Structure 1
Amino acid sequence: MNATPIQLISPQALTATLAQYYEAPAQKRVIISKMTLSNVSAGVDTVDIHIVPAGGTADASNLLLKQKSLDSNQSFPVYQLEGQILAPGDTVWAKAANVDAVLLMASGVTVV
């Protein structure tokens, strides 16, 4: 078994519509090690995060973090997703209530 640490999602601002932020590569499994949300706005914001099976769509069946509220300038380690395993083609989708208010960042390990 070969495990390689990688940056899954470089820090980027979430959109206000549900969007894909990561896809596990073909023929590799990915273990999420750390995921962090940071509210960089002056107001409270909420975030949704989905882990979607390959070929699926983001919906209520794969919503793992629902309307997580973040105060202004608050960071939150998303413990609920740490250790989750993505199969090849699985994706991470997210959205915030307000565009450019919340940054998402994640790291992990690919396993072959």
Structure 2
Amino acid sequence: MTKFAFAIAGLALCAATVSSPAFAGGEARVLRIVPGLCEDFKGTLKTWASGIKGHGAYALPIAPRSMNLSCDNPGPIVPVGQSYGFDNMFEAEQAALNYCEEHKPTGFSDCLIVARSLPTK
């Protein structure tokens, strides 16, 4: 399986735990999203999960408290770490976290896995 880790524009953290089905190439997948994400961003994660294969993870850098972010005030666009195509979740999470850590903006603290996607079988 081909393995990938890369970044795209991320959105602000801010609303409920979701474990929902996603489909990639007609195959059912599980998508687990951490609590506290904005509803709009959950749609982004569902789209991401529906286009990947293997195990995948999605990481965001944690914004400084001084930014006072909310779903109504999402703040700056930041790089995120995504990974997919891995045989297990541990490797997928490590790849996403490593990429996020290497590309996080100055002033942001550690990166956090906000979503995990895996095949149902």
Instruction: Please say whether Structure 1 and Structure 2 have the same fold, judged by a TM-score greater than 0.5.
Output: no
Which is helix-richer, 1 or 2? 2
Which of the pair has the greater relative contact order for Cα pairs under 8 Å at 6+ separation? 1
TM category (shorter chain) comes to 0.3 to 0.5
